[in-house]
Structure 1
Amino acid sequence: MLLHMIHSDRPLTSEALAGYLQTHPVVVRRTLAGLRTLGYVGSTKGHGGGWVVTCDPAVVTLHDIYTAVGAPALFAIGHRTPDPVCLVEQAVNAALDDAFQEAEALLTARLGGITLAALAADFGHRLAAHPRSTHIHAH
């Protein structure tokens, strides 16, 4: 959502953002309300109103945003049984737990090195390379 807002020349409504993300505007509004509380976005009402980025994209990282949205689980893989009686399953769970913790630490560290500005620049280059892209802020 933030990249859509960064590349827009005007505020974007939650309906427009929901269209880009193929989700419901309520989901967008809930997420953006939390980001607004932390100072990442702001909104204006009325004709021509909508959401805008209010933070410095050169400073804010994906890790910042990940934390701002509640640090959801990064991996959908889980244990079949949280506290198994089977000793084999216990051993496998322990090994998986270690692997998941290492992978999550690596991923969150990498997220901390990616700024919104870097993502916006990458998107801008991709858009320039594909001028006929259907990715246009027409809403």
Structure 2
Amino acid sequence: MVGLSSRSAVAIHALTMLGRWDDRSLTSADIADSLASNPVLVRRVLGSLRDAGLVWSTEGRGGGWSLARGSREITLFDAYTAVEDGPVLSRHPHPPSDACEVGRHMQELLETEFRAAEQAMKERLGRTTIADLVRQVLVAERRQAVPHR
């Protein structure tokens, strides 16, 4: 029922890495290593992020990917819209039967519910920035580095 792919997770992961190491460029291989994924998939996602103006790349020795704007200016919703097409929740592939009292009303009812759910998702993802995730990563790393007694 949900139309969300893994591209959003890959995009957010890549942006968070770029935000974490904002002082240097990262290669698609660097990002793929963190994802335990294929650099080709990462390059495709980075291409979509570049098309959306979220990242940029440089060629040659020392080249790689960097954020195109500050991590405080990039929301999770920005990442989502850069890599996903269409609505989050799938609609009926064809109109239900008008002969059925449920079928007659279901499209309109689902459209109302799905639109509200998608708006809630947009608002929630729009409140969290890449800088927020970088901060959370650093806090989690510090917590993990504290020796247990």
For residues 91 and 52 of structure 2, what CA distance do their matches in structure 1 show? 31
Tell me, which stretches of 5 or more residues in structure 1 are unaligned? 133-139
- Structure number with the higher helix fraction is 2
Contact 1:66/1:72 (CA < 8 Å) preserved in 2? no
CA distance change for structure 1 residues 27 and 106 in 2, over 3 Å: closer, same or farther? Answer: same
Could you say which residue in structure 2 is the equivalent of 1:23? 37
Is the partner of 1:83 in helix, strand or coil?
A: coil
| CA RMSD in angstroms, aligned pairs only | 2.4
Q: 1:69 aligns with which of 77, 83, 87?
A: 83
Identity of aligned residues (%): 35
Q: Which runs of 4+ in 1 moved over 4 A?
A: none
For residues 73 and 27 of structure 1, what CA distance do their matches in structure 2 show? 22
Could you say which residue in structure 2 is the equivalent of 1:83? 95
Instruction: Map Cα deviations across residues 19-43 of structure 1 (whole Å, 9 max, x no partner).
Output: 3234332222122123223432122
More displaced stretch, 48-57 vs 100-109: 48-57
1:34 aligns with 2:54: no
More displaced stretch, 51-60 vs 20-29: 20-29
Tell me, which stretches of 5 or more residues in structure 2 are unaligned? 1-13
For residues 139 and 86 of structure 2, what CA distance do their matches in structure 1 show? 30
